[in-house]
Amino acid sequence: MTTQLEQLRALSAVVADTGDIDAIARFRPLDATTNPSLLLKAAMLPAYAPLIDAALASAQGADAPARLADAGDRLAVAIGAEILRLIPGRVSTECDARHSFDVNATLAQARKLVALYQTRGIGRQRLLIKIAATWEGIQAARQLEREGIHCNLTLLFSFAQALACAEAGVFLISPFVGRILDWHLAQGLPAPATPQDDPGVVSVTRIWRYYRLHRYDTVVMGASFRNTGQVLALAGCDRLTIAPELLAQLEASESTVPRALSDEGARSDAPRQLDEAGFRWRHNEDAMATEKLADGIRRFAADQVKLEQLLAQRR
């Protein structure tokens, strides 16, 4: 019998949501995604100690905070480079969440990350720059895409975010599933009766179908899964980024994996683009998305600070 993981690979590109090289080597994903929280976990593994030391030794900056931020960028690139030795596709490396509302700071860091990869002989065709899907982040991604730097827009919860990303020509979006369910449960709403009823699954399905209908090229990559039921309810989505513990569960099961998302072939012209005011209003009307985007930015920023504190302790 074929495992669920192998069946899923035939329907969707499987991406590893981790910075753990051992896990990536085991599960052989197409791509891998990282974020400050995952990098913080990875940096605590003994195998990464030489990378941390090298990042600190080469760090530059006018003062201690600047040098720590530079060391963080260098560590992220070093881990990304190690991951790329093991996968055939791309690695996503995230911009500092503290730049989420600053177009110019996001552009500067994105270009710097690309340049750091270039010094290692890694071209932009192997990279995705990961940016929070704020209005400012989307505008930065629009410019980066024009420069040939492909982007992964993350912390995506609202349909307005998905629309704006597609209209900006973003290469890939990562709509979250598990955090949407978390919010609904925290409001006292009943748990979904089936994975197909899960509000996060419903959100990603709506986005995927809308992109197909209106001929958007932006890749939809479901993210932030809490269980394999959510994953399998999106079988057929372009890509799915999955944590190692869930990949292990899929590998251990031989139950049948049916296609959940199918392209029926219907096509129509896309409606008028969202302007900034329209985006902000439509996103604001979604209480879940407004709260989870803000919370996600705060959490990633906090983990970035913790990572810099870890680096400071090793100097």
Q: Which residue bears the tokens 């993210």?
A: 223
Sequence-distant (6+) residues with CB within 8 A of 56 are 71, 311, 314, 315
Dihedral of CA 314/96/162/151: which sign? negative
Query: What crossing angle do the helices spanning 64-84 and 36-43 adopt, rounded to 10°?
Result: 90
Q: What angle do CA 240, 79, 231 make, to 5 degrees?
A: 15
130 in catalytic set:
yes
Q: Which residue bears the tokens 């949501």?
A: 17
> Which one of the listed residues 41, 112, 130, 306 is annotated catalytic?
130
What does the block give as tokens for 184?
A: 């609904």
Return the SS3 of 251: helix
Dihedral of CA 249/26/234/227: which sign? positive
Sequence-distant (6+) residues with CB within 8 A of 251 are 3, 4, 5, 27
Q: Which residue bears the tokens 């890509």?
A: 239
Residue 91 CA to residue 130 CA, distance in Å, equals 10
Residue 218 CA to residue 94 CA, distance in Å, equals 18
What does the block give as tokens for 270?
A: 């896309």
User: Are 76 and 127 spatial neighbours (Cβ–Cβ below 8 Å)?
Assistant: no
- Identity at 245, one-letter amino acid code: E
Q: What angle do CA 111, 65, 51 make, to 5 degrees?
A: 65
Active-site positions?
130
